[in-house]
Amino acid sequence: MPVTTAYWAEHAWLRRPGAPAPAVEQQVLVEVGGDGRITAVTPGSGPCPPRAVRLGGLLLPGMANAHSHAFHRALRATVQVGSGTFWTWRDQMYRFAAALDPDTYLALATAVYAEMALAGTTCVGEFHYVHHTPGGAPYADPNAMGEALVEAAARAGIRITLLDTCYLSSGFGAAPEPHQRRFSDGDADAWAARAAAFADAHRGTPHARVGAAVHSVRAVPAGQLATVARWAEERGAPLHVHLSEQTAENDACLDAHGATPTRLLADHGVLGPRTSAVHATHLTGEDVRLLGGSAASVCMCPTTERDLADGIGPARDLADAGCRITLGSDSHAVVDPFEEARALELDERLRTRRRGHWTAAALLRAAGEDGHASLGWEEAGRIEPGALADLTAVALDSVRTAGAVPRLGAETAVFAASAADVRHVVVGGRHVVRDGVHQLVPDVPAALRDSIAALRGR
């Protein structure tokens, strides 16, 4: 798929040099170089020139889904039957994990990443821990499952940061349970060696970068946390970790170590500017200060957190303490970056019974620029010269968005639009979604249906 050299937008959300905040500009010409980066942005350019591709609606920077477990998409609807908790949901998740192999995961992840592209996502952070065969033995290629995910992103036309996840224990040093054996490398040194080989193999892969993850303080013994942190530090790579999603995790950590999970991570060198804490739902005041003081990012996943009845995390307190807030769809109960963005504000309204915690601009930044930065793509998430030409165009004339004045396009996108309103997606100058149709995966619903059926049939 060739790079298109120019796109023209009716309206675009831009930050002009010297302006205090982004604003909606009209008739914007975006020119792209052969390397897939923006070379020029010209607001007020006049009518669309013949050499440019017209993008109707509002042009936004591409969205970053900062936390994904691609195979969880297979659980949609299945886990909505009856009641339960995160822990009963987890039992069903393990059954789907057991059915994965490199071929089935390639098919499923391709479909899931194509669904993300249709929703406006141009980059995904894949929190990947299904490393080995179901019994725990490595594949002939120990990174076959990670390779499947990188290839899936290429087939779907989006960028990926593969967050290779260290997962060693069923809980605070206990051996993995049978359904967790395929997640474990045995110890952190073995994880680091395998992850290093994978990262080395993908150095220079245009659409892919490799980071690290600590699955949780439950799954990585305290004495091995520093190994994962050091691996990421030496490579300047992102480091992500599930943190305090459940009160049971906090209680068990206090029993095992006399410290909260956040304090345990801080004491073992895990927290820092390249670290992203995912969920961070149940925190103490000291936890908030530790995360903010380390300049860590916090990835909120509102649609998953409400689907699993996890709770509403202290996102505003974390932002005020110095954390960068990002967004992810996690279990893919919904794949819709606009829903995640507005949920951050709307959940806070429910928690506080007050409105106006984030502006639309701040929420778009969380869904775009800050999410990309947390995944190691600092050059993405902005429409400006030098940035990657990753773009999302949202309709302003659908039944959800019609009637608002264009200058309030950001507010319309965040608080009214949905994934169904995405009309165009450009990644590195390549037109991946055109008029709502994926150009690389012709029938995304069929791809989802068939790949999920293949797992259920096992």
| 83 pLDDT more than 80 | no
pLDDT digits (tens, 9 = 90+) for 133-176: 999 999 999 999 999 999 999 999 999 999 999 999 999 989 99
| Residue of 287, 307, 330, 390 with catalytic role | 330
Contact, 217 vs 256, CB < 8 A? no
Confidence band, pLDDT 50/70/90 cuts, at residue 458: low
H/E/C letters for each residue in the chain? CCCCCEEEEEEEEECCCCCCCCEEEEEEEEEECCCCEEEEEECCCCCCCCCCEEEEEEEEECEEEEEECHHHHHHCCHHHCCCCCHHHHHHHHHHHHHCCCHHHHHHHHHHHHHHHHHCCEEEEEEEECCCCCCCCCCCCCCCHHHHHHHHHHHHHCCEEEEEEEECCCCECCECCCHHHHHHCCCCHHHHHHHHHHHHHHCCCCCCEEEEEEECCCCCCCHHHHHHHHHHHHHHCCCEEEEECCCHHHHHHHHHHHCCCHHHHHHHCCCCCCCEEEEECCCCCHHHHHHHHHCCCEEEECHHHHHHCCCCCCCHHHHHHHCCEEEECCECCCCCCHHHHHHHHHHHHHHHHCCCCCCCHHHHHHHHCHHHHHHCCCCCCCCCCCCCECCEEEECCCCCCCCCCCHHHHHHHHHHCCCHHHEEEEEECCEEEEECCEECCCCCHHHHHHHHHHHHHCC
The model's confidence at residue 367, banded by pLDDT at 50, 70 and 90, is very high
pLDDT bin (cut points 50, 70, 90) of residue 87 is low
Share of the chain above pLDDT 90, in %: 91
Q: What digits encode the pLDDT tens for the residues 210-230?
A: 999 999 999 999 999 999 999
- Examine the residue annotation and report whether 330 is marked as an active-site residue of this protein: yes
- The per-residue pLDDT for 404 is 92
Work out the average pLDDT over 275-297.
98
CATH fold, domain 6-62+387-438, is Urease, subunit C; domain 1 (2.30.40)
The mean per-residue pLDDT over the stretch 15-30 comes to 90
Q: Indicate which residue of 202, 279, 357, 431 is catalytic.
A: 279
Domain 63-374 sits in CATH at: 3.20.20.140
Q: Does the structure show a pLDDT above 70 at 99?
A: yes
List the domain boundaries for the chain. 6-62+387-438, 63-374
Q: How confident is the model over 325-351, as pLDDT tens digits?
A: 999 999 999 999 999 999 999 999 999
Lowest mean pLDDT among 20-24, 32-36, 243-247: 20-24
For the cut 90, the answer to whether the pLDDT of residue 48 exceeds it is yes
Comparing 38-42, 77-81, 232-236, 318-322, the range with the smallest average pLDDT is 77-81
| Predicted TM-score (pTM) of this structure | 0.97
- Mean pLDDT (the chain) is 96
Q: Is 215 a catalytic residue?
A: no
